[in-house]
Amino acid sequence: MSSLITEITAPDGYKVTLNTGLFINNEFVPGAHTIDTINPATGKVIAAVQAAEKEQVDLAVDAAYKAFYGGWKTSKPLERARLMRKLADLVKRDSEDLVHLESLDNGKPLSASRMMDTDSVIEQLQYYAGFCDKLHGKVIETEGKLSYTIHEPVGVCGGIIPWNVPMIMLAWKIAPAVCTGNTIVVKTSELTPLSALKIAALIKEAGFPPGVVNIITGYGPTAGEALSRHMKVSKIAFTGSLATGRAIMKAAAETNLKKITLELGGKSPSIIFDDVESVDEVVFWTHTGVFFNSGQSCCAGTRLYVQEGIYDEFIEKFKALTLSKKVGDPFAAETFQGPQISEGQFNRVMNYIDIGRKEGATCYLGGNRVGDEGYFIEPTIFTALTEYCICFFYLDVTENMTIMKEEIFGPVVIISKFKDIDDVIAKGNDTTYGLAAGVFTSNITRAVKVSNALEAGTIWVNTYYSNSPAEPFGGYKQSGIGRECGEYALSNYTQVKAVKINVGKSI
């Protein structure tokens, strides 16, 4: 429908023509209503997109179900690989459209979108394209019988993606699903649907059969709930909040016991030892680990534990680097940090900053709004030590502060001093989460010891946010269930069938 086509103009004058319909069965169709997507840098409407309710979710799932049993389940692996590589090529061709949409819709700096987002999507598609013809079972030695296993697709998958890195999360859900012969319905966040709608058009252009990939937008309690409870959906992959993850797990249990993978929140520690070769380099990595994407990352290293020998030097250099980074217009070349995603998220982060002050933590830097338009917050540093009390007893108390326990999902970091390695490992693990952690040391024995002791799905040593499509990503404890990325993710999208053939004599 022509009424679903809109032209979006970015602040730098770049224009993108976009179909704002629901992408079902390779067509853009109207939804039950529309949702305004907001530019978080200004608070103004970018565009209205079509939104799904249960009826549209049913249509999308039915299309995926028909496509799965209509031929995609038994499609040739090399054909799946060809289509995925074609899609990767189209993403590369239209990368400027995609990064402009992502920065406008999400608020991340354009430079960051160019540096990371489309490249990550391309790498994910290419990586799993290479796996399409390598999904092998095993022959099992049994007496008088031929026994072997087959890895088969599970069927229709549902993907529910967050707003913080929507383009990357879309690829994380689509690539392993279609690689293994599944079809999929992806629900985008209502806050950041634009880049997914652009990729939807590229999926059709690449030549994917109708119904293999369907992309819809809608609210969690309606569209997300309907997808999670659908009896024709065999697997749900979700990235988002702990509360929503619990709701999806409950929905799966109460319906058809669909497989689930959940990548949820985090409260990741970074431990910095005083034997590091370069404090400046550690400051760079830990600063990036906290403030990249305005602190809106599930694996952000928001708890920094610095050994006492370099604490004073570290915190001064960390402060200096933080002050040197510009907060502002995502389309300005010099901007490092953009706005929070929405007014609601802005208020949530500011409330945590207020709680931190009230509970006695020292707000060493920041803590205020930036400007009077949009949802910008100063990068904020809390220290566990105050001017009045520097005893370790007080440090023990601060470990129980709300800002040390709960995921803030904003540009807020807490920096603490430590002395003993066993004590800091215990503090690093003192969380209900376990998504990621950082370790900074020049001692390889110490790096291995601490990495092995930390209860988290990813440990970065002398780096942070260094991800690859080949590496599994997921959490311990309440940070989630299952793994995404890498070969490990494939087991979430396949089921194993055992076949046993009698090749001996019958009695």
The catalytic site residues sit at: 263
* Contacts of residue 336, Cβ cutoff 8 Å, sequence gap at least 6: 109, 291, 325, 326, 327
Torsion sign (Cα): 477, 253, 233, 241: negative
Q: What does each C-alpha distance from 236 to 145, 185, 250, 471 come to in angstroms? A: 36, 10, 12, 21
CB 236 within 8 A of CB 258: yes
User: How many angstroms from the chain centroid is the CA of residue 192?
Assistant: 13
**Distance (Å, rounded) from C-alpha 356 to C-alpha 324?**
24
CB 160 within 8 A of CB 240: yes
* Contacts of residue 55, Cβ cutoff 8 Å, sequence gap at least 6: 32
What letter represents residue 489's amino acid?
A: A
* Ordered DSSP codes for 59-126: HHHHHHHHHIIIIITT--HHHHHHHHHHHHHHHHHTHHHHHHHHHHHH---HHHIIIIIHHHHHHHHH
* Ordered DSSP codes for 306-329: EEGGGHHHHHHHHHHHHHHSEES-
CB 415 within 8 A of CB 404: no
Q: Note the residue count of the chain.
A: 507
Residue 282 backbone dihedrals phi, psi, to 5 degrees: -65, -40
Torsion sign (Cα): 342, 344, 347, 349: negative
Q: What is the dihedral of CA 219, 225, 231, 235, to 10 degrees?
A: 80
